[in-house]
Structure 1
Amino acid sequence: MTDIFTDPVLHYKNFKMGTEIEIAGTFIYNGMKELEQIDLFDIESEMFMLLYNLAVGIERLQKVVIVLSENIEDITIFEDSLKSHNHQNLHNRILRNGIAIRLSTRENAFLQLLSIFYDKHRYGRFHVSTELKAEKLELSSYIRQSFKGNYEEDFFSGSIRNNEELKDFFGRVIGSISKKYYLEIDRLARMQSIYTYEVRYGSKAEKVFLQEFRKNSLQEQNINEKIAAKELIVYLMKTKDKNPFIRYINDIEPLDFDIAMANDYLEQVIAGTISQDLVSTVEYEYLENDYSVERVRQMDVIGNSNVHFDFAQIYRCNGLLKSFLKNEVECYTFANVFLEEVSYLDDDYGNSILKEMSVLCRNFLKQYENGVDTSKQLKAQFLEIYEEFKEFYFLHDIQHEE
């Protein structure tokens, strides 16, 4: 009995095509991001990237369906037969294999649009005789023929303005085509007891193929991501929560941005781009304030999951402990400041020793407020458990002074 490890064709269908699913999903996801950033269907580079990403992603999906649906006897002949970039022809080949993937009129028209782009316009500008703004003409024609909603045309250029209704329209067309091919890949793979349909959790492919959206609109993914980003921004601005990361940000002196531009900058950032105007503003502020590489390093750790801000907070606690045990800080001040420092640590980052220290500080403060000074007792208790604290957090410091 053959399996995916010993049979070269099954190995090809399972592992290599599984990778192709991830690649296809990534191209389609990137294409939807390009769509999100288009304001006017007029700039050729933007429309090229939109069509290129979608054309490559959907073509690769089609070819995976073909690989899984055909009986491969002569590998060389089969591989040569895949050397096509005509999306409509690839779909017709799938239908001839008995795969009943039904596309709507506008979905078929979109495959035709991708075929024309990939065949004629992908390298069209390298030919003297080709028409300018070919992508604009093709996309505009498709929108006017297939889109039944409302859109505006720019007064000066006559180009179609992108809007949320158009984004949703493209999201439904692209999402529906992608989902139909993926579901067929899933069915064919399960029939052959292989796992081509599996995609990595959290990957772009998982967002495209496994998420459920209204009318399969991939634009819902863009909307969800933008809302999530906005919610995070609101949280960071308004939170009263304490942790070392929030403290780190709050300790940084902000640049002098123009508040009137904040919403414009955020619109672009959330759409997936950083405007050159924002970059230039930051560069100007760095020059004005003589910021060095140290400021860049300070910024660089923000959003870096490899940086553990909690451990930096542990070092702050340790520094305070050393000062206390060296008699550099009196007990009342130490107890209050230590509790404040510990409050920035997540519960799951502490240990029983740290919690015990917090209890000792609270007990001391309670007695102090009742007129009972237990400073010597508190110092003795901390001397007793400090070495265990250092050992737990791998802190190798000089010995405290008696």
Structure 2
Amino acid sequence: MTDIFKDPILHYKNFKMGTEIEIAGTFIYNGMKELEQINLFDFESEMFILLYNLAVGIERLQKVVIVLSENIEDITIFEDSLKSHNHQDLHNRILKNGSAIRLSTRENAFLQLLSRFYDKHRYGRFHVSTNLNAEKLELSSYIKQYYTGVYEDDFFTGSIRNNEGLKDFFGRVIGSIAKKYYLEIERLARLQNIYTYEIRGESKAEKVFLQVFRKNSLQEQNINEKIAAKELIVYLMKTNVKNPFIRYINSIEPLDFDIALANDYLEQVIAGTVSQDLVSTVEFEYLENGYSIERVRQMDLIGNSNVHFDFVQIQRCNAVLKSFLNDEGDSYTFANIFLDEVSYLDDIYDNSILKEMLELCRKYIKQHENGVDMTKQLKNQFLEIYEEFKEFYCIHEFQHEESKEIIQKDNLETEQPF
């Protein structure tokens, strides 16, 4: 077996083309996202981005198939031969190399559309004589010829309104083309004992090439993502789970949004964009309330995977412990507050130190309510394991000094952690 690290051609086919597949998948994914956000096939800028992403993605995918299917002898000649941007010509070249890929009539027509766009319309508006509405005319003509579903023309512009049927139609055309090329890449790579087809997990390319959709419709990926986002929103609004992250969100005073517009805002956010109206509303609210950079920093922590809210909760628990050990509160209040604070941690049942502390608090509360005073014993027991607690959580005395003021004797609820 030839060593792909020593053979420059195999190295080129395996590693560089593997990266190209991810790039191609990213372009195609971004194109489908743009399709999701188009409401009307009227704005040239939106249709340009749609067609550009799809044209680049599919072209790069075609060229990976060519690289894997041809015997490369003179690398300079071969590289020059890849400079074509004609999708139909590239597909015909793939077929001449013995590929069994067969595209349907509407798939071939879509390749031709992409070829015309990339060759004639990509820089068309930089020429005085070209048509201003080239992308709109191309897409409208394609829809009218190959889409058999129902669509509406906008009353004011006459342009075609995008709908779920059209999104699914384009999703099936684009998804089928992409899948056929990817499967051919996988077949050719396996024949040569290389791994070009392997795709990085959690990448956009994985969503395009490795997911299984009805009739290969990439629109199902958009639908799945929107449903998942909506489910997360519902969960965050309805959950009663005690968690440091949820506690942090609940501690923030919300802005005064117009509830009548909330669903409109969510529609755009879930589709992958944020309306300028929403941005302007937030800016106005910030000015009205005198919010400073601290509010921005507060918001920045949400949706930031580098922030570990458990760490702040641990500091809260430590502040409660220190206050108790320093005789800054009565034992019964401490035991109740500590049980509440620990309930927000995720590792309660996997941590022997916390389990022991919780058991001591529960036992003390029960004895106290039965009229038995075990305050001295409780404090001594906690003194014995406090250092172990700090060592386990890597707590240093200089960390989070603001957490000293956490305990409120009259209320088990505590201040916000930041």
State the TM-score, normalized to the length of structure 1.
Answer: 0.98
Contact 1:189 1:195 in 2 (8 A): yes
Aligned partners of 1:116 and 1:12: how far apart in 2?
Answer: 30
- Is residue 183 from structure 1 mapped to residue 183 from structure 2 by the alignment? yes
Secondary structure class of the residue paired with 1:187: helix
Residue 156 (structure 1) shift:
1.3
Give secondary structure in 1 for the equivalent of 2:371.
Answer: coil
Q: Deviations over 1:257-298 (max 9, x none)?
A: 110010000000000000000000000111111111011000
Contact map agreement 1:47 1:136 (CA 8 A) in 2: yes
SS, match of residue 376 in structure 2: helix
Moved more, 1-10 or 247-256: 1-10
**Rounded Cα–Cα distance in structure 2 between residues aligned with 1:355 and 1:310:** 17
Q: Distance in 2 between matches of 1:359 and 1:135?
A: 69
The residue aligned with 1:108 is 108
Structure 2: which amino acid aligns with 1:214? Answer: R
Partner of 1:174: 174
Which residue pairs with 1:302 in the alignment?
302
Amino acid aligned to 1:227: I
- Tell me if the contact between 2:61 and 2:181 (Cα under 8 Å) persists in the aligned partners: yes
* Offset at residue 350 of structure 1 (A): 6.0
Partner of 2:409: none
Partner of residue 73, structure 1: 73
Paired with 2:167 and 2:349, the residues of 1 have a C-alpha distance of 44
| Alpha carbons 1:27, 1:56 under 8 Å: kept | yes
| DSSP-derived class of the 2:195 partner | coil
> In the TM superposition, what whole-angstrom CA distance separates every residue of 1:327-374 from its partner, at most 9, and x where no partner exists?
111011000010000000002696211221111000111111222121
Distance 1:334 1:37, change over 3 A: same
- Cα distance change of structure 1 residues 349 and 293 upon mapping to structure 2, 3 Å threshold: farther
Residue pair 1:310, 1:349 contacting (<8 A) in 2 also: no
Match of 2:356 in 1: 356
What is the SS of the residue equivalent to 1:25?
helix
Instruction: For 1:143, give the aligned amino acid.
Output: I
Contact 1:364–1:378 under 8 Å retained in 2: yes
Q: How far did residue 387 of structure 1 move? A: 1.2
Deviations 1:227-269 (A, max 9, x none): 0000000000000001100000000000111100100000000
Q: Distance in 1 between matches of 2:198 and 2:349?
A: 35
Residues 184-333 of structure 1 aligned to structure 2 (within 5 Å): 184-333=184-333
Give, as a single letter, the amino acid of the residue that structure 2 aligns with 1:22: E
Q: State whether structure 2 residue 396 is matched by structure 1 residue 396.
A: yes
1:59/1:87 contact within 8 Å kept: yes
Unaligned runs of 5+ in 2: 399-403, 405-418
Q: CA deviation at 1:2?
A: 2.9
Aligned-residue offset at 1:196? 0.3
Structure 1 unmatched ranges of 5 or more: none
CA contact (8 A) 1:243 1:345 kept: yes
Q: Report the counterpart of residue 157 of structure 2 in structure 1.
A: 157
* Aligned mates of 2:271, 2:312 — CA distance in 1: 33
1:26 paired residue number: 26
Shift of the alpha carbon at 1:396? 2.2
Query: Which residue identity does 1:166 align to in structure 2?
Result: L
User: What residue in structure 2 maps to residue 92 of structure 1?
Assistant: 92
Structure 2: how far apart are the matches of 1:329 and 1:163?
63
Are the equivalent residues in 2 in contact too, given 1:335–1:362 (CA < 8 A)? Answer: yes
User: In 2, Cα distance between the equivalents of 1:133 and 1:345?
Assistant: 58
**In 1: Cα distance, 2:69 partner to 2:389 partner:** 63
The question of whether the paired residues in 1 share the 8 Å contact of 2:348 and 2:354 is answered with no
List per-residue Cα deviations over 1:175-210 (Å, max 9, x = no partner): 000000000000000000000000001100000000
* 1:17-67 alpha-carbon deviations (Å, 9 max, x no partner): 000000000000000000000000000100000000000000000000000
What is the number of residues matched between the two proteins? 399
Q: How has the CA–CA distance of structure 1 residues 88 and 137 changed in structure 2, closer, same or farther, with 3 Å as cutoff?
A: same
Give 1:385's aligned residue: 385
1:300/1:350 CA distance change after superposition, 3 Å: farther
Show the counterpart of 1:374. 374
Asked if structure 1 preserves the Cα contact closer than 8 Å seen for 2:342 and 2:348, the reply is no
User: Could you tell me how far apart the structure 2 residues matched to 1:355 and 1:308 are?
Assistant: 22
Percentage of pairs with the same residue? 84
Q: Which amino acid aligns with 2:21?
A: I
Secondary structure at the counterpart of residue 108 of structure 1 = helix
Equivalent AA in structure 1 for residue 360 of structure 2? L
Q: Which amino acid aligns with 2:338?
A: F
- What residue in structure 1 maps to residue 15 of structure 2? 15
SS in 2 for 1:296: helix
Alpha-carbon distance between aligned partners in 2 of 1:371 and 1:245, rounded to the nearest angstrom: 38
